[in-house]
Structure 1
Amino acid sequence: MNTLDWEGKVGDEIRTVFGEHQVGLPQPETLLSVSQIDPSGFKSFVRETRAILLVQKGEKEGVVVKKNKYSAPQILVYATAKDDEGLINLIKTKGKDMMHTFQNADIKFLQSLFKKERLADSNFKTLKNLGISIDIPKRFKLVDDTGDFLWLRQHLKSGIARGDGTNNILIYSVPLEDETKVADNITAVRDTIGKKYIPGSKEGMYMITEQAYTPFTFETELDGKKAYETRGKWEVKNDFMAGPFLNYTIVDKKNNRLIVFEGFTYAPSVNKRDFVFELEAIAKSMKIK
């Protein structure tokens, strides 16, 4: 967009809408990272960027989405209005839809990469027993697979102050008892699982939901089924380890159970948004038979 507009009220509105923070992270991080370039510099390799928002003035007001115009995969969103006031209103009313368009494209891009290097579902007793197919990249290594509970871990090699950080995936199921209470019980269920399966370094230490921070739970859909997305922070009881978690609790009425996917990150000295976003892309590839 025009540099003058970027430095004025139109740019302020973009920074407000696109500067929304991702919930559930220990430090403030925006949902998307945004940088501006003037139309005069929009050429050569810049045009091949994967996600582009073009803000422009014109008679035909509205938002148009195009794909793969200069490279692939690529998503271009054209936001057009007659004047500054129109652009501000357009970004205010349609900005979240634009963000979701970019996020969904990023998820599909990551999933296409993970599908090429996925672990075989048949390698894991728990996935077979639960009738689950999911695209988890091979860099995740097995920690525990009981037949009822699966734990996979990826070691994060760079930028971590205290040893290797990790990205972790948990998959398990619990009985569906009262559908009206599913959302209220998510924290209690994950704390029970943490105590049983996720130990700390010493006796009496195990993973719990951070008590000083209330998780955010949203109703959503996964694999065509009603689900709840919960974002919050975990900690180890009686220890100083902590980080963000992402939990999807899926209502599988057909089998009278809840399927739970949880991802959690331990990366004490770096930003964690992108690690959690990878876990989200993996979770959303899940298919329940």
Structure 2
Amino acid sequence: MKNVFSICIIAMLLFSCTGNDKFVLRGSIGKVNKVMVVTKASDWNGDLGKEIRNSFGELMIGLPQPEPILSVSQIAPNGFGSMMKVTRNVLVIGESSQEKFYIKKNVYAQPQTIIYVYGTDDESVIKMFKKHEQEIIDAYIESDIKMTQSIFKQREIDNANYKTLTNLGISLIIPDNFKTVDDTGEFLWLRQHLTSGIAKTGSNNILVYAIPLKDEDKVAENIVAVRDSIGEKYIPGSDQETMHMITEEAYTPFTSETKLAGKKAYETRGKWEVKNDFMAGPFLNYSVIDKKNNRVIVFEGFTYAPSVNKRAFLFELEAIGKSLKIK
């Protein structure tokens, strides 16, 4: 099955009337993590375009190859016609009589996120973009996460099939191309074999487990030690006696505080490797503090895809991790 990042929601209806006299929007198109910028060519080739490309082109943390957070393309306002208006992620930016910033959903198609940024002159436009820069990036990522989850939901595996999820009292949206490697009741390992391009020898992997909550103030600093102990216990290399997964020693992971399942959590991005072997790749770890049950729930996704870009694969794992719910 092709990677979800090559999936486009193709338009099935232009505008058709329902029994309630409501219009059905066209299906949006476009790759995940891709934004179409509607602005004049002169602005795109000038300081504004440079600012947008630098912002969206910031490198994603933890990937072995340099890959941007968001990919961008540009189209002039007079080219933003009916065919282009079904693009899923759109940034409309330019000059107006007053400074304005707002986000609209499902304007011409669905799902769709269109962000409008206006300033009174070139300097004002750049100022408005920089002021809302992180909010803009977060809006596109959140939108793509929800869309990816909705696709996975259509072919979701019943969580009751997994002893570990049942015992932990949690749920995840897991698509049916993930197969069980290990499910002890305390530790779950799922694997999706990648089938597209030269990544067909690789895999996407999910780990789920919980550890006791001993000291909330030390959860973040212990994430690497915990994942290394889990790797030694459960994730062997080709030689089970001398090889197992560890956090790459030459790269310091980046940890930030976030919220997941309505609880305080830590997101950690970094690189993994197999001790005494040549296998390696990126990982994404969510450590969720569940005070009620005196534990830390851990979701981790890691990718092995030699010689190809990995942003798209890791984004799928992020969408699954962010679907976590505690029952």
Structure 1 residue identity aligned to 2:156: R
Find out whether 1:127 has 2:165 as its counterpart.
yes
Q: For 1:250, which of 263, 288, 296 is the aligned residue?
A: 288
Corresponding residue for 2:34? none
Structure 1 residue identity aligned to 2:135: D
Q: For 2:78, which of 35, 40, 53 is the aligned residue?
A: 40
Q: Equivalent residue of 2:198, what SS?
A: coil
Deviations 1:218-262 (A, max 9, x none): 000001100000000000000000000000000000000000000
Return 5+ residue gaps in structure 1 as ranges: none
Instruction: Give, in whole Å, the separation in 2 of the partners of 1:214 and 1:45.
Output: 45
Aligned pairs (5 A) from 1:1-289 = 1-160=39-198, 164-202=201-239, 203-289=241-327
Instruction: Give, in whole Å, the separation in 2 of the partners of 1:46 and 1:240.
Output: 45
Structure 1 residue identity aligned to 2:213: L
Report the alpha carbon displacement of residue 44 of structure 1 after superposing the two structures with TM. Answer: 2.8
Instruction: Give, in whole Å, the separation in 1 of the partners of 2:308 and 2:244.
Output: 23
Instruction: Give, in whole Å, the separation in 1 of the partners of 2:196 and 2:143.
Output: 26
Report the alpha carbon displacement of residue 60 of structure 1 after superposing the two structures with TM. Answer: 2.6
Q: Equivalent residue of 1:201, what SS?
A: coil
Deviations 1:164-208 (A, max 9, x none): 110000000000001110000000000000000001011311100
Structure 2 residue identity aligned to 1:200: G
Instruction: Give, in whole Å, the separation in 2 of the partners of 1:4 and 1:56.
Output: 11
Instruction: Give, in whole Å, the separation in 1 of the partners of 2:48 and 2:181.
Output: 49
Structure 2 residue identity aligned to 1:28: P
Task: State the identity as a percent.
Answer: 62
Which one scores higher on RCO, CA 8 angstroms, separation ≥ 6? 1
CA contact (8 A) 1:17 1:91 kept: no
Report the alpha carbon displacement of residue 159 of structure 1 after superposing the two structures with TM. Answer: 2.0
User: TM-score, normalised on structure 1?
Assistant: 0.98
Give the paired residue count.
288
Deviation beyond 6 Å, 4+ runs, structure 1: none
Report the alpha carbon displacement of residue 114 of structure 1 after superposing the two structures with TM. Answer: 1.2
CA contact (8 A) 1:159 1:269 kept: no
CA contact (8 A) 1:165 1:267 kept: yes
User: TM-score, normalised on structure 2?
Assistant: 0.87
Instruction: Give, in whole Å, the separation in 1 of the partners of 2:48 and 2:232.
Output: 50
Aligned-residue RMSD, C-alpha: 0.9
Return 5+ residue gaps in structure 2 as ranges: 1-38
Report the alpha carbon displacement of residue 70 of structure 1 after superposing the two structures with TM. Answer: 1.2
Structure 1 residue identity aligned to 2:246: I
Q: Equivalent residue of 2:110, what SS?
A: coil
